[in-house]
Chains A and B, each alone.
Chain A
Amino acid sequence: MIPPKIGNSPFENKGNIRPMGMYPGHGYPGEEQPRYTGRHFLIHKETKGGKSGIKRVLETKWGFTVAETLDFKTQGVNEQNIEGADALIYNELGVTLLGTEEDPIPLLKSLDDEYFIAPEKVVYLLEEQPPTTWGIRTTGADRSRYTGSGVRLAVLDTGFDAAHPDFQEKEVTACSFVPEETGQDQHGHGTHCIGVAGGATDEKGQRYGVAPGASLFAGKVLSDGGRGAQSWVLNGITWAAKNGCQVISMSLGSPVQPGEVYDIAYERAARFALSKGALLVAAAGNDSDRSLQRFCPVSSPADCPSILAVGAVDEELNVANFSNRAVNPSGLVDFVAPGVGIHSAWVMPTRYRTLSGTSMATPHVAGIIALLWEKYPAATPAEIEKILRETAKRLPIATEDGGVGLCIAP
């Protein structure tokens, strides 16, 4: 049996290069990754058909030495063991490997109509992609050439774990607005969110951050117990805006009742931040339970007109069971982002956690906005928002649940 030609030199088998025809031999001359080995399969149109017939024809008419897989019983077939054979019949499959350089077409013509020929392919290891979380992959952040470099991104939450190993090379400015607590995160939520927005890769090399090049601002507006006062959030928004942050991410909120209007103070703070060049994103909230037909309004401050509200989708791009809905006409959902089973950083020594929530979806959008700011540094917040809307992937989800759709990285 001739060995398969799977070599990697460009002018493989120079003396016997076949003309390109129905059954190309080795791929194109000069091709470093040939598609075919030069051998062929003879395939019976029915799986179990004609096996004794083909052996007879190959042996008597063509003078082939024929091996069969039946001869091997439990022992695996290795071509080394059938070196002298010209063909190998796969008895169970109705397939015969023709291991010669003979042109198979005349052979085919000598058989009845029940066979066809196919060239044997060369198989390769699939190129390994560096691992990423599904959120990074689905939003396209892994394919973006932008990292948020030069962009200041603020996350207002429980603070940030300055001891986390993944952030040692990063620029993080922390400030606490919680009385008697420092910017150090003792809860974990803030570290998780800042990880999604601006983290990089974990200890196994898996990427979990959307904008790893952004300059991070961690504003602690929630206590280590996970509670905060509205005024602390206002302080955080003001601080981020005055420090040149172009994105302010808030994975927090207060529940809103049907018929309740958005909070004017938050709206006023948001407009101030916009006037300073920042876009604000906030979590739509997780109070809903769609399996029980319970749909709750978008939380505050996400329900403010000047703040982008983010809902959550799962890996199949279905709305997450808990993701809130635009029940109130002023509290719309603007976008959705990955928010189910999101792997990111957590306080040490736990180091990482996989969580679900619109809290996880929000920093995905914040990171994407940072990438957009890097791409369009001279744009206004309104222009960036417009691009975010235009490039969002439309999903078969109602607007009240999914807004414009899934945010996609530039």
Chain B
Amino acid sequence: MKRIIITVSEYYLHELNVVADELREEGVTITQLHEYGVIVGLAAEETIERIRHHKEVAALTEEKEVKIAPPDAQIQSLNDHDPSPTR
């Protein structure tokens, strides 16, 4: 099961609860439903592939992690990975 963030298309915001019910029927466990059309939940890989291209789904991403540097770091970096340099 992966933690996912679904952004519902603006065209379907007026029936957000109906969309949420349909997603639950597809196998999504909804943990958070925001009135502005963002749904946080858990779903299996197969479910994700199935719902990703539904017309009500404007975007579906795996939940990102946000970070800051450890407390003793002098530069309070947002993350401590080594990003690839730009071209």
A residues adjacent to B (C-beta < 8 A): 157-158, 187-189, 192, 221-222, 225-231, 233-235, 238, 251-255, 257-258, 263-265, 268-269, 271-272, 283, 285-287, 293-297, 299-300, 322, 325, 327, 355-360
Contact = CB atoms under 8 A, between A and B. Distances in A.
Contact of A234 (B34, B59, B69, B77): B34
Contacts of A157: 68
Interface residues of B, number: 36
Interface in B30-55: 31-32, 34-38, 40
Contact of B77 (A158, A221, A222, A322): A322
Interface of B: 3, 5-7, 31-32, 34-38, 40, 58-59, 61, 63-71, 74-79, 81, 83-87
20 contacts: A189-B76, A226-B71, A228-B66, A229-B65, A230-B63, A230-B64, A230-B65, A231-B32, A234-B32, A234-B40, A251-B68, A253-B79, A264-B7, A264-B59, A265-B6, A265-B59, A269-B38, A294-B86, A299-B78, A357-B77
A339 B9 CA distance: 38
A170 B51 CA distance: 48
Contacts of A255: 78-79, 81, 83
The 4 closest A-B pairs by CB, nearest first: A272-B36, A357-B76, A264-B59, A231-B40
B67 A269 contact: no
A269 B32 CA distance: 13
B53 to A, nearest CB: 15
B7 A268 contact: yes
Contacts of B86: 258, 294-297, 325, 327
Nearest to B5: A265
The B interface, classified by DSSP as helix, strand, loop or mixed, is loop
Contacts of B83: 255, 257, 287, 296
A293 B85 CA distance: 9
A230 B64 CA distance: 5
B64 A300 contact: yes
Contacts of A231: 3, 5, 31-32, 40, 63
A135 B69 CA distance: 22
A348 to B, nearest CB: 13
Nearest to A359: B76
A258 B87 CA distance: 9
Contacts of B69: 226, 357
Nearest to A287: B83
Contacts of A188: 71
Contact of B74 (A192, A235, A356): A356
A355 B37 contact: no
Given A158-B68, A229-B66, A265-B5, A257 B34 contact: no
Given A253-B66, A268-B7, A355 B74 contact: yes
Contacts of A230: 5, 63-66
A15 to B, nearest CB: 66
A265 B77 contact: no
A66 B73 CA distance: 66
Contacts of B63: 229-231
A287 B83 CA distance: 7
Given A251-B78, A272-B35, A286-B77, 12 more contacts: A187-B71, A189-B76, A222-B66, A230-B66, A254-B79, A255-B83, A258-B84, A268-B7, A269-B38, A285-B79, A297-B86, A356-B76
Contacts of A222: 66-68
A356 B77 CA distance: 9
Contacts of A283: 78
A252 B75 contact: no
Nearest to B68: A226
A233 B66 contact: yes
B61 A265 contact: yes
B25 to A, nearest CB: 22
A342 to B, nearest CB: 10
B3 A229 contact: yes
A265 B3 CA distance: 14
A294 B82 CA distance: 11
Contact of B66 (A254, A271, A295, A357): A254
B71 A287 contact: no
B34 A252 contact: no
Nearest to A261: B59
A59 B6 CA distance: 98
